A and B are shown apart, each in its own frame.
Chain A
Amino acid sequence: MSSKWWLVLAASGVLAIGVAACGSSDDNGDGSDTSSGNLSGDIRVDGSSTVGPLTEAIAEEFNAENPDVKVTVGTSGTGGGFEKFCAGETDISDASRPIEEDETKACQAKGIAYQEIQVANDALTVVANPDNPVECVTTDQLKSVWEPKSTLKNWTDIQGLQPSFDADLALYSPGTDSGTFDFFTDKINGEEGAQRTADVNDIGEDDNATVTGVSGAEGGMGYFGFSYYQENQDKVKALSIDSGDGCVAPSAETAQDGSYYLSRPLFAYPSAKALDNETVDAFLQFYLDNINAVAEQVGFIPMTDQQSQASQQKLDAIKSGGGSATTG
């Protein structure tokens, strides 16, 4: 009997020390941070597969400080994400393009107020196989490959391309729900949502399939967000793009100053209602406070100081407006 009591005592002692240890490490972590570690609840994020990895990285860091908060990050694509967001199913929608008119209407119909907050920059990167000698393509050449009804079969079919490269085109495209697809078709083909379907592999939202495909096919070509290129520089190479002012390679600088033709801002759309919840509020503030450091770590292009300030102002605006912030 008495030995059992000793066991209980010893166990509770160990527990107490453990709890104390946890507490102290929490204190250290929160030393310079205003956000407390006792938040709890669920935060539901969905949307762009380009922005997804960024939100996930932020969520991981946020989780380290707030272990009781569960952040789920889905990647249904920008369009798929807005569909759920405007149905009130998610708190934050990641987007790789601004919200569109019909999506705005869907949100209004459901009474969902939101704010567009830029979180990073991206350089949509056109990639090819490392064995491909071509370094630079013009926007017209890209269009001739990707426009609807294009019948180009081989790299040699591309007008004026230097140097000549004899390999069959193997094209990998993100799915039609993808903001990357919308952006690329808009900028290159001149009509959003219009692209050739013959001899194109639709990889859906799985950008890694493009990496596998382009690195495996000599004449491979595909496009995705800059971060996937950064992660896979050993497997695929980025093509420079000439939009009339010479070849520009995708990079942090060319994306920030906009000289790279396919550079674009990346967004997170929080709903005003979700921001009433202090957990979501704290998460978004944490997002903006840490985004530039995290962005570089996970291969995204951070915002300029000016962009950061604008985002903070927008977040403050939607908060001060209570739940009835202006939309879009």
Chain B
Amino acid sequence: MEARDAKAATGAPRRMDPARPLVAARPRYGEKVIQGLLAACAVISVITTTVIVISLLSPTLDFFGEASLGKFFSLDEWAPTQADPTFGALRLVIGTMSATLWALLFAIPIGLLSAIYLSEYAPPRVRKTVKPILEVLAGIPTVALGLFAITFISPQIQDIFPDAVKSPPFFVLAAGLGIGLLIVPIIASLSDDAMRAVPGSLREGAYALGADKLKVSTKVVFPAAISGIVASIVLAASRAVGETMIVLLAAGANPNASFNPFESVLTMTASIARVATGDIGTNTITYNTIFAVGALLFVMTLAMNAVAIRLVRRFREVYE
């Protein structure tokens, strides 16, 4: 015993004595404090979410006390700040869906092809430089992307399709492409991670059977990573749904229920921003409108994120 204690005192490595309890001899209060702090940090985000839901809930309930749910989900005019207000929020949902649709149509092919290149084709050195640059794209302030959409993308498209744009310079396609630029890195980066997580043995097996690189990438790796890829797309879509500044600047503010890429639309986020920055009295129905739309937006993105998390989980189960 004495010899072993002496050894321990000198700090030399030793085997764990199974009989010795795993509890520290003296209570470590510092450890407890740190544990508490870490837990508090984790709890803060949970509390924030809860508080947001609660703060949305009460004005939303007030709103539906005055306006009917059926009218809210209808194609009535969206005119919350007019003298005789009407609230056809379905028009905003369609506007949001239209902007998201064009963003995804642009971002999915570019994002996925970049991911395939980065994970399967690019030499490690290229990948090391290209991937961070791609991720920087996600860090561009959205107001800058919005200005880019209205001052560059919009006139370019008007040159290609003269007379197609109904009320220049605002149309949903310009905003959609701006959002597309924003979400390309999300799709590319997360899909790249998903594809690189596919075990090498699958690739080797395919090569052994005589498949070439293209076949391995598209027929083996891509399907194996599909749930991770779909999750990246769903995450990108919920980012696009929630994007505000680009649509506020470039999509116009015309609540028409249309998927025409050359018409201007009003999205849910842009309508909140527009109504909220004006002069509205608190607790009026106009004021409560923005919370009702906010709650709807919250539910939509929550549902999409829940789907994404599910897909990620399924993806994990495959190889662990």
Binding site for B on A (CB under 8 A): 76-77, 79-80, 82-83, 148-149, 168, 170-172, 175-177, 185, 191-195, 197-204, 209, 212-213, 216-218, 220
Contacts and interface: CB of A to CB of B under 8 A. Distances in A.
A194 B81 contact: no
A175 B158 CA distance: 25
B127 to A, nearest CB: 43
B79 interface: yes
Contact of B279 (A80, A191, A195, A201): A80
Interface in B244-274: 252-256, 264, 266, 274
A212 B169 contact: yes
Given A194-B83, A198-B77, A198-B256, A176 B169 contact: no
A199 B254 contact: yes
Contacts of B274: 175, 202, 204
Interface of B: 77-79, 81-84, 158, 163, 165-170, 252-256, 264, 266, 274, 278-279
A45 B83 CA distance: 27
A96 B179 CA distance: 37
A232 to B, nearest CB: 15
A213 B82 CA distance: 23
A213 B170 contact: yes
Contacts, number: 79
A37 B266 CA distance: 49
B83 A197 contact: no
Contact of B253 (A195, A204, A220): A204
B167 A220 contact: yes
Contacts of B254: 199-202
10 contacts: A76-B279, A80-B279, A175-B278, A193-B83, A194-B82, A197-B78, A197-B82, A198-B256, A213-B167, A217-B165
Nearest to A212: B169
Given A172-B167, A175-B274, A213-B168, A148 B84 contact: yes
A80 B253 CA distance: 19
A80 B167 CA distance: 27
Contacts of B279: 76-77, 79-80, 82-83, 177
B256 A212 contact: no
Nearest to A202: B253
Given A217-B166, A217-B168, A201 B83 contact: no
A129 to B, nearest CB: 11
A305 B190 CA distance: 70
Contacts of B166: 168, 170, 217
Given A201-B254, A217-B168, A177 B82 contact: no
Contacts of A192: 83
Contact of B81 (A176, A218, A220): A176
Contact of A197 (B169, B170, B255): B255
B264 A201 contact: yes
Contacts of A213: 167-170
Contacts of A176: 81-82, 278
Contacts of B169: 209, 212-213, 216
Given A76-B279, A79-B279, A194-B82, 14 more contacts: A175-B81, A192-B83, A194-B84, A195-B82, A197-B255, A198-B256, A201-B264, A202-B254, A202-B274, A213-B167, A216-B158, A216-B169, A218-B163, A220-B167
B158 A191 contact: no
B278 A148 contact: no
B82 A148 contact: yes
A175 B248 CA distance: 13
Contacts of B278: 77, 79-80, 175-177
A80 to B, nearest CB: 4
A175 B163 CA distance: 26
B304 to A, nearest CB: 28
A102 B288 CA distance: 20
Nearest to A215: B168
B77 A201 contact: no
Contact of A193 (B82, B163, B167): B82
3 smallest A-B Cβ distances: which pairs?
A: A193-B83, A216-B168, A202-B253
Contacts of A204: 253, 274
A171 B77 CA distance: 16
